[in-house]
Amino acid sequence: MAEAHTAAQQSHGGGHVTVKTYINVAVALAILTAIEVATLYTPGIPHTLLVSALLFMSALKFFLVVGFFMHLRYDSPIMRALFVGPLIIAIAIILALLALLGAFILLPRHVP
Amino acid sequence: MADHTATHAVHDPNLGTTGLDHRKMGMWIFLGSDCMFFGSLIGTYLSYKGKSLSGPGPHDVFNIPLTSYSAALLLASSLFMVLALTRLNENRIRAAAFWLFATAAFGLHFVLNQVYEFATFALDEGLTLSTSLFGSSFFVLTGFHGAHVTGGVLWLSILMVLALRGKLDRRDYTKVEIAGLYWHFVDIVWIAIFTIVYLIP
């Protein structure tokens, strides 16, 4: 039982990441969060660039946590598919709702 | 006898035909479905953004320093969670219990910050669930996230008590790992909410 447990643990990611790696990831997350907040208070950044930068940093933090803290980087491809598949659907839901409720209508409406 | 032991080692009842732990697989399936749940709430929030006819807007009420502090609490708690798992794997149960406590405590602090934030919005700014499209979509999205965090705090607290009572050891690694997956998930949802709801103007 213990042997099977250890084998499963090794193959599912538990034994691959060291405490040092976890601390490095946590420091990276803290730095990215600080940059995000600082970006918000920096004047003169064009809106499109600001939104793109914030979304990029957020995505980076997201994948750092999923990849290292949740061990998905080292986990079975089946586990990866079980999470990444619905994540893609979730992004599609967000885009569909935005399109459905007119968020992508860029031109002003002509009121007669 | 040796053959019997080897056979027994292979037939872990928690391992399915894929060789993967079905409890962990179940948690990943749940987290995938929760992704779609939060995707719907975030999509609705974004769709209603800027369409409120009354009441205060997002940047009239948001307290970015407080929310940034809350974000830091959740990120730190994710580190504590993996440290708890590492210590459990080393069979250092007291240390694992300490890191589980730290994770739950930071999670509780996050929830209390959110309660304070909600109370301030309602009492000082006049923003409630029924004030405007912004109010309803904001409170439902962040409220459901807060409920997830509260559930996680309870789960981690139970694990901590079990560890202190000597009812948790390294053989329970997967049980704690599953709780950790859930905890990291509430962290990544907050990473998305923090940027999309609070930071993007």
Count Cβ neighbours within 10 Å for each residue of B15-44 and write b for 16 or more, e otherwise. Answer: beeeebbeebbebbeebbebbeebbbbbbb
Q: Which of B9, B184, B192 sits opposite A4 (nearest CB)?
A: B9
Q: A13 and A67: one domain? A: yes
The verdict on residue A8 lying in a domain is yes
pLDDT for B99 equals: 97
Which is nearest to A57 in space by CA: B2, B200, B110, B109?
B200
The sign of the CA dihedral B139, B140, B146, B150 is positive
Chain A contacts in chain B segment 97-136 (CB below 8 A): none
Encode pLDDT of B96-134 as tens digits: 999 999 999 999 999 999 999 999 999 999 999 999 999
DSSP symbol at A109: P
Encode pLDDT of A10-40 as tens digits: 444 455 688 999 999 999 999 999 999 999 8
pLDDT for B16 equals: 76
Which residues of A fall within a CB distance of 8 Å from B19? Answer: 8, 11
The verdict on residue A111 lying in a domain is no
User: Which of A5, A11, A87, A98 has the highest number of chain B CBs within 10 A, making it the mutation to test binding with B?
Assistant: A5
- Calculate what percentage of chain B has a pLDDT beyond 90: 81
Q: Is B91 an interface residue toward A (CB < 8 Å)?
A: no
Q: A40 and A90: one domain? A: no
User: Would you say the ipTM is above 0.90?
Assistant: no
Q: Which of B71, B174, B201 sits opposite A33 (nearest CB)?
A: B71
Question: 């789960």: which residue's tokens?
Answer: B155
Asked whether the beta carbons of residue B200 and residue A54 sit closer than 8 angstroms, the reply is yes
Q: Does pLDDT of A3 surpass 50?
A: no
Q: Does pLDDT of A46 surpass 60?
A: yes
Which residues of B fall within a CB distance of 8 Å from A52? Answer: none
pLDDT for A108 equals: 60
Q: Is B86 an interface residue toward A (CB < 8 Å)?
A: yes
Q: A11 and A66: one domain? A: yes
Residue A110: band (very low, low, confident or very high) from pLDDT cuts 50, 70, 90:
low
Q: How far is CA B196 from the centre of its chain?
A: 17
Q: A48 and A84: one domain? A: no
The verdict on residue A110 lying in a domain is no
Shortest distance between the Cα of A24 and any Cα of chain B, in A, equals: 10
Q: A62 and A87: one domain? A: no
Which residues of A fall within a CB distance of 8 Å from B78? Answer: 26, 29, 65, 69
Asked whether the beta carbons of residue A78 and residue B48 sit closer than 8 angstroms, the reply is no
pTM for this prediction: 0.88
The verdict on residue A51 lying in a domain is yes
Count Cβ neighbours within 10 Å for each residue of B127-151 and write b for 16 or more, e otherwise. Answer: beeebbbbbbbbbebbeebbebbbe
Topology adopted by domain B21-199:
Four Helix Bundle (Hemerythrin (Met), subunit A) (1.20.120)
Domain total of chain A: 2
The verdict on residue A112 lying in a domain is no
In order, the DSSP letters of B124-191 are TS---TTT-HHHHHHHHHHHHHHHHHHHHHHHHHHHHHHHHTT---GGGHHHHHHHHHHHHHHHHHHH
Q: A19 and A49: one domain? A: yes
Maximum pairwise Cα distance, chain A: 76
Q: A20 and A64: one domain? A: yes
Q: A12 and A42: one domain? A: yes
Neighbours of A78 (CB within 10 A): 12
Greater pLDDT, B10 or A91: A91
Tell me the residue range of the domain where A94 lies: 76-105
Provide the terminal-to-terminal Cα distance of chain B, rounded to the nearest Å: 68
pLDDT, mean of residues B138-153: 97
Q: A10 and A41: one domain? A: yes
Which residues of A fall within a CB distance of 8 Å from B103? Answer: none
User: Which of B15, B23, B27, B28 has the highest number of chain A CBs within 10 A, making it the mutation to test binding with A?
Assistant: B28
pLDDT for B180 equals: 97
Asked whether the beta carbons of residue B173 and residue A14 sit closer than 8 angstroms, the reply is yes
Q: A47 and A87: one domain? A: no
Query: Which chain A residue shows the shortest CA-CA distance from B83?
Result: A19
The domain segmentation of chain B, as residue ranges, is: 21-199
